[in-house]
Amino acid sequence: MPDMSMGGSEIAMFVMGIAAAGVVAGLLAGVFGIGGGAVLVPVFYQVFGLLGVDEAVRMHLSVGSSLAIIVPTSIRSFTSHKARGAVDMDLLKSFLVSIPVGVVLAAIATASISSAGLRIVFTVVTVLVGIKLLFGRDHWRLGSEIPGNPWRSVVGTGIGFFSTLMGIGGGIMNNTFMTLYGRPMHQAVATSAGVGVMIAVPGAVGYIIAGWNNTLLPFASTGFVNWVAVALVIPIALVVTPYGVRIAHALSKRQLEIGFGLFCLLVALRFFASLMG
């Protein structure tokens, strides 16, 4: 990947498309604390399709490659937010066991879930989150304090599980969870960057193991991770992520919510279209 049978112009378009995705993913990692996976997964799915990757592994490869890229971008986003004192470290520490447990369970399930199944999970979760952010009100809360165990562990496991199936850094679900308990959006975004680190590292390893020796995978793939895509996106995303952090701290709570909500619905719409096609 890219296939050597491709012409020079096709290879150039491939590189430019992935590079553009890297810029957008890096910015979103900083702005929303989402690691960029919500952008990378649908982009990779389309690019891999254009390059002839088999449908049976295309979504898995998109998710696995996204998780591998999220490792450095989420670390960069987390350190930038932490330097500003915006991260809830106590909440993050309380997720140290439950989120990785969810990631491991998802990695085990990945081998038996179809491409369509992964796309359905992606679509349903992003639609629900998008609607909540766009139409939610301040009184839409589950409580004034984030619950302790066992509920916190259940939520952490769920965040790790569904985020890994979607190839995202957990920001979409953790942002929703924290704001439903009255936490400021900026704090939720910052803390989500740390959640992304917990998800991406074991998640990427899990997808490599799940796709090991799969004969349908393209060139330069180790399990469900394609290293050409990873190598193209990571340097670009690392450079632009701090700029996304600056944008996040310059926006109001409502501006962040509307931007995030519209983004979620746009991505969900694209995947819904692929399921209908």
Beta strands in the chain (DSSP E): 221-222, 225-226
pLDDT: which is higher, 21 or 224: 224
Query: What domain count does the chain have?
Result: 1
Domain-embedded: residue 1: no
Which residue range(s) make up the domain with 155?
A: 8-276
What does the mean pLDDT of the chain come to?
Answer: 83
pLDDT tens per residue, range 178-215 = 988 888 878 888 898 889 889 988 999 999 999 998 99
- How high is the pLDDT of residue 36? 66
Domain-embedded: residue 82: yes
pLDDT reading at 133 higher than 80: no
- How high is the pLDDT of residue 99? 94
Give me the mean pLDDT over the 157-162 stretch.
93
Separation of alpha carbons 62 and 122, rounded Å: 12
pLDDT reading at 5 higher than 70: no
pTM of the model: 0.77
- How high is the pLDDT of residue 141? 75
Domain-embedded: residue 60: yes
pLDDT tens per residue, range 15-65 = 777 777 778 777 776 776 565 677 778 778 877 887 788 989 999 999 999
Burial zone of 197 (CB within 10 Å; 0-12 exposed, 13-18 middle, 19+ buried): buried
Tokens 């971008």 sit at which residue? 73
Cβ-defined contacts of 129-132 (< 8 Å, 24+): 129/172, 129/173, 129/175, 129/176, 129/261, 129/264, 130/260, 130/261, 130/262, 130/263, 130/264, 130/265, 130/268, 131/261, 131/265, 132/176, 132/261
- How high is the pLDDT of residue 70? 84
**Which among 69-73, 88-92, 179-183 has the top mean pLDDT?**
88-92
pLDDT reading at 164 higher than 60: yes
Residue 133, token pair as written in the block = 């952010």
Domain-embedded: residue 180: yes
Q: Where residue 115 falls among pLDDT bands split at 50, 70, 90?
A: confident
Domain-embedded: residue 124: yes
Separation of alpha carbons 211 and 96, rounded Å: 26
Q: Where residue 8 falls among pLDDT bands split at 50, 70, 90?
A: low
- How high is the pLDDT of residue 6? 53
Burial zone of 216 (CB within 10 Å; 0-12 exposed, 13-18 middle, 19+ buried): middle
- How high is the pLDDT of residue 209? 92
Task: Give yes or no for a contact between 271 and 43, defined as CB atoms under 8 angstroms apart.
Answer: no
Domain-embedded: residue 2: no
Residue 53, token pair as written in the block = 């990757």
Residue 236, token pair as written in the block = 């670009």
Domain-embedded: residue 3: no
